[in-house]
């Protein structure tokens, strides 16, 4: 028995409790992600668009949406809400493992795992092993990490590139490699990671960096940006294409004036618990940063980056229709350094009240972080609004099972169209894909109602408004097969 306890003691020394919690965090992330893998969050339009583009690249070598066999939208530069550093690896995944939503979601789980591994390596260097473990636990119990990480989107791959850039900048003093990773983050999800550029500029300027050093840093970001231009844009020197891009990022929401969005979001701040939750942590980090000494150079750089980026992200959120996904990266960054901020604050109070036995800073630190982790787990399972739905998957399965060999036309039903064999598929994409195009008719859609040979099956949103002429074609040639999950499925009158 004594020998057994000796072995247990040696194992405990080699494998301390904090390592157990770190591995538990990774195991929790993997198991939770596999639970309801394809249905929570539900398949949504942006994810379907990214999957469609990756499969188009896999089958046709184009970063575009194939509306019918060999016919593309011809505006790929307006479809890249998630960029080529993510869609090319997904296309390769489809080539090796086959096409499907399961493959896309498992692909994203791999990004999540690697992002947390690299984050831990960076944080261990910057804030120490113990705090880094709690940073990972806070992130993997945060509901929005899964809401944004599970779908085939660019936020988490971009986060991996961001923390890799920070690692090479702060831990390896290699601005060339760091800039390359930062630029990969930007092109992975431009609407979120473009904020890296002004953030870096202000962080470096505040540090008194010379213009020459700034130029070296930003020059390293050019290759990935040029890759985006020449890989994605069919006409990289077209003025019209660049005006469309500027127009889209200037106001991608189109329907609502930006000032109205700002006013609405400011009014709703007290009711937006995520903003309140992270607003408190932001203030905490700001207070800690103000008290930093000069010797904490790398750590203060991290705080500067997180605080400035978070400020820009909040401003970008204000101009949106209230989309919290624009703040996800700042939320992950805040959670990453929160354990260190709490440690610094409690160390300050421990020194201030060193004669007071009642105040135990280390115990308070552990208790505070354990409370936050438990609170986030409770919220994840009981209060998080990670929308569950298998309706699109079941509707696509119904169409595939019943009309496997028939041609199918999809009218603004991309979530279903991605599952259909491209040789038998026609589709039109409306303004829901890129809202600003709603009134511009930019897509090279061929009206499914005017095809020489009409599709044998037609799928429409249940309450879609059609023109008088299109309604006549529909009534004269089709009959209703079924209405399910918000879609109306029509079949040619001659098909039984």
Note whether 362 and 351 are within 8 A (CB).
no
pLDDT at 395: 95
Q: Is the pLDDT of residue 230 over 90?
A: no
Q: What is the pLDDT of residues 40-64, one digit of tens each?
A: 999 988 899 999 999 999 999 988 8
Q: Are 31 and 380 in contact (CB under 8 A)?
A: no
Strand partners of residue 408: 425, 457
Angstrom distance (rounded) from CA 461 to CA 438: 16
Q: What pLDDT does residue 130 have?
A: 92
Residue 315: how many other CB atoms lie within 10 Å:
12
What torsion, rounded to 10 degrees, do the Cα atoms 82, 86, 88, 89 define? -160
Confidence of residue 412 (pLDDT cuts 50, 70, 90): confident
State the average pLDDT over residues 256-283.
91
Q: What whole-number distance in Å separates Cα of residue 56 and Cα of residue 60?
A: 5
- Residue % of the chain over a pLDDT of 90: 55
SS3 164: helix
pLDDT value for 440 = 42
pLDDT of residue 446: 66
Give the span between the Cα atoms of 88 and 67, in whole angstroms.
Answer: 20
CA distance 419 to 393: 9
Distance CA 482, CA 76 (A): 34
Domain locations along the chain: 8-382, 391-492
Between 19 and 335, the more confident residue is 335
Pick from 123-137, 178-192, 225-239, 451-465: least confident: 225-239
- Give 313: exposed, middle or buried? Use CB within 10 Å, 0-12, 13-18, 19+: buried
Statement: residue 438 has pLDDT above 50: no
| Cα-to-chain-centroid distance, residue 73 | 24
CA distance 489 to 482: 5
What pLDDT is recorded for position 67? 86
Residue in the structure block whose two tokens are 């098909």: 495
Q: Select from 377, 385, 388, 365 the least CA-distant residue to 140.
A: 377
Are the C-beta atoms of 443 and 429 separated by less than 8 Å? Answer: yes
Which positions ≥6 away from 2 have C-beta within 8 Å? none
Distances (CA, A) of 58 to 88, 95, 482: 8, 7, 33
CA 136 to chain centre: 18
Give Cβ neighbours of residue 144 (< 8 Å, ≥ 6 apart): 274, 324, 325, 328, 331
pLDDT of 434 reads 42
E strand map for 4-158: 66-68, 71-72
d(CA 388, CA 109): 18
Q: How far apart are CA 29 and CA 487, in angstroms?
A: 34
The mean predicted confidence, pLDDT, of the chain is 86
Q: Is 250 helix (H, G, I), strand (E, B) or coil?
A: helix
Q: What is the dihedral of CA 442, 448, 452, 453, to 10 degrees?
A: 150
Residue (of 142, 116, 141) closest to 274 by Cα position: 142
Query: Cβ of 257: how many Cβ atoms within 10 Å?
Result: 12
Which residues 6+ apart lie within 8 Å of 339 measured at CB?
Answer: 127, 130, 131, 132, 134, 135, 138, 365, 369
Q: For residue range 357-389, what is the model confidence (pLDDT) as tens digits? A: 555 678 889 999 999 999 999 999 998 888 889
Burial of 22 (0-12, 13-18, 19+ CB in 10 A): buried
């Amino acid at each position: 028995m004594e020998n057994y306890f000796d072995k247990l003691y040696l194992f405990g020394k080699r494998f301390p409790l904090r390592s157990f919690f770190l591995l538990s965090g990774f195991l929790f992330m993997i198991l939770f992600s596999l639970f309801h893998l394809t249905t929570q969050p539900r398949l949504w339009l942006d994810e379907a668009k990214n999957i469609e583009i990756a499969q188009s690249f896999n089958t046709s070598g184009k970063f575009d949406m194939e509306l019918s066999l060999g016919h593309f939208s011809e505006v790929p530069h307006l479809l890249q809400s998630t960029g080529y550093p993510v869609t090319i690896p997904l296309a390769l995944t489809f080539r090796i493992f086959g096409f499907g939503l399961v493959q896309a979601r498992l692909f994203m789980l791999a990004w999540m795992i690697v992002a947390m591994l690299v984050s831990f390596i960076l944080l261990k260097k910057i804030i120490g092993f113990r705090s880094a473990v709690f940073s990972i636990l806070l992130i993997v119990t945060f509901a929005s990490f899964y809401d944004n990480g599970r779908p085939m989107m660019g936020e988490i791959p971009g986060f991996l590139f961001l923390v890799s850039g920070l690692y090479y900048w702060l831990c390896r003093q290699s601005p060339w490699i760091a800039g390359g990773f930062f630029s990969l983050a930007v092109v992975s999800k431009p609407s979120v990671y473009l904020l890296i550029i002004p953030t870096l500029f202000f962080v470096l300027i505040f540090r008194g960096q010379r213009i020459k050093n700034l130029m070296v840093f930003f020059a390293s970001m050019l290759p990935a940006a040029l890759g985006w231009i020449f890989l994605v844009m069919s006409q990289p020197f077209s003025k019209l294409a660049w005006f469309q891009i500027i127009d889209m990022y200037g106001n991608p929401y189109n329907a609502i004036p930006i000032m109205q969005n700002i006013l609405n979001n400011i009014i709703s701040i007290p009711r937006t618990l995520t903003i309140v939750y992270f607003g408190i942590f932001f203030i905490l980090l700001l207070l800690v940063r103000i008290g930093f000494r000069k010797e904490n150079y790398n750590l203060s750089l991290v705080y500067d980056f997180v605080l400035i980026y978070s400020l820009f992200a909040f401003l970008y959120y204000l101009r949106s229709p209230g989309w919290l996904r624009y703040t996800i990266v700042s939320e992950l960054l805040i959670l990453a350094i929160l354990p260190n901020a709490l440690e610094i604050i409690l160390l300050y109070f421990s020194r201030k009240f060193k004669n007071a036995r009642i105040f135990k800073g280390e115990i308070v630190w552990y208790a505070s972080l354990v409370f936050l982790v438990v609170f986030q787990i409770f919220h994840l399972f009981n209060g998080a609004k990670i929308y569950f739905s298998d309706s699109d998957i079941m509707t696509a399965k119904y169409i595939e099972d019943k009309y496997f060999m028939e041609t199918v036309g999809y009218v603004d039903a991309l979530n279903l169209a991605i599952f259909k064999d491209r040789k038998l598929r026609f589709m039109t994409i409306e303004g829901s894909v890129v809202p600003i195009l709603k009134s511009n008719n930019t897509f090279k859609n061929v009206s499914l109602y005017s095809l020489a040979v009409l599709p044998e099956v037609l799928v429409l949103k249940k309450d879609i408004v059609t023109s008088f002429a299109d309604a006549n074609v529909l009534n004269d040639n089709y009959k209703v097969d079924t209405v399910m999950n918000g879609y109306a499925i029509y079949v040619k009158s001659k098909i039984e």
